[in-house]
């Protein structure tokens, strides 16, 4: 198996493993592209991948209630604001709340109306809207409370929807670093499309599950551990009861 895939080598591998070489009537490019994007989406949902962690900065002006979430944002991890004119700079991580909480806090009803209460450095944020599709450039709105009383720098830390191998044909993070898992996920889609054989569908589903478990340990375990703070990995050893 290849250690990494390009778009061309992955589509060829799908054809070879399934022994389907008819690209005119069976595995058209539209069909195989669907296998790949469905597999990528599945992996995106199954594993919190480090490479998908992004951040975006900007400025909040006086009285600003909303900002747009970064384009391609799947989920917001945290929001922080910085008061730049203090010494040292004051950094605050905002607490996530529901929109109804922020509406009550700001004491107003209709979006865009003048805030009736005082302004201060934001303490809370809420999410609403967006997330209507992978091709949607609007990923939702982030609301603040209280509204800024002056200019603040904000930073949104988020999980981004990664680019697909269908568009980035020379390679993606998954095709280079999780090639076998991506292939197995594609083969699950392919055998489902072919409606069998059932034993092959089951086989590749099991292979995918084993690989994604190891990949998840790498991404949310080994890559986020620190030997200085965490030390050696501790493995539980069962011992007989006294």
Q: In order along the chain (242 residues), what is the average pLDDT of each group of 10 residues?
A: 86 94 91 96 91 93 90 90 76 92 73 55 88 58 90 93 94 95 96 90 94 87 65 61 62
Q: Residue 104: its pLDDT value, please?
A: 85
Q: Exposed, middle or buried: residue 96 (CB in 10 Å: 0-12, 13-18, 19+)?
A: middle
Nearest to 1 by CA among 237, 204, 242: 204
Q: Residue 115: its pLDDT value, please?
A: 46
My answer on whether 71 and 30 are in the same domain is no
Which residues of the chain form beta strands (DSSP E)? Answer: 53-60, 66-68, 73-83, 90-93, 95-96, 124-128, 141-145, 152-160
Q: Residue 242: its pLDDT value, please?
A: 61
My answer on whether 55 and 156 are in the same domain is yes
Q: Residue 41: its pLDDT value, please?
A: 94
My answer on whether 107 and 173 are in the same domain is no
Domain that holds residue 176: 7-49+163-223
My answer on whether 150 and 168 are in the same domain is no
Place of tokens 């050696």: 232
pTM: 0.78
């Amino acid at each position: 198996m290849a250690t990494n895939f390009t778009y061309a080598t992955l589509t060829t591998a799908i054809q070879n493993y399934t022994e389907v070489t008819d690209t005119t009537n069976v595995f058209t490019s539209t069909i195989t592209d669907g296998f790949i994007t469905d597999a990528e989406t599945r992996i995106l949902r199954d594993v919190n991948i480090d490479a998908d962690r992004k951040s975006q900065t900007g400025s909040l002006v006086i009285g600003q209630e909303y900002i747009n979430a970064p384009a391609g944002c799947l989920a917001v991890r945290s929001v922080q604001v910085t008061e730049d004119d203090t010494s040292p700079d004051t950094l605050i991580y905002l607490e996530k709340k529901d929109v109804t909480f922020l509406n009550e806090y700001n004491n107003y009803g209709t979006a865009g109306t003048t805030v009736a209460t005082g302004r201060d450095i934001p303490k809370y944020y809420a999410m609403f809207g967006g997330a209507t599709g992978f091709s949607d450039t609007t990923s939702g709105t982030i609301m603040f409370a209280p509204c800024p009383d002056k200019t603040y720098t904000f930073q949104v830390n988020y999980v981004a929807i990664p680019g697909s191998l269908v568009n980035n044909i020379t390679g993606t993070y998954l095709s280079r670093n999780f090639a076998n898992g991506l292939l197995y996920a594609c083969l699950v889609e392919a055998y489902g499309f072919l409606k069998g054989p059932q034993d092959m569908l089951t086989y590749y589903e099991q292979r995918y599950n084993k690989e994604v478990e190891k990949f998840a340990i790498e991404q949310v375990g080994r890559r986020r551990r620190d030997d200085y703070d965490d030390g050696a990995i501790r493995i539980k050893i069962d011992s007989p009861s006294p």
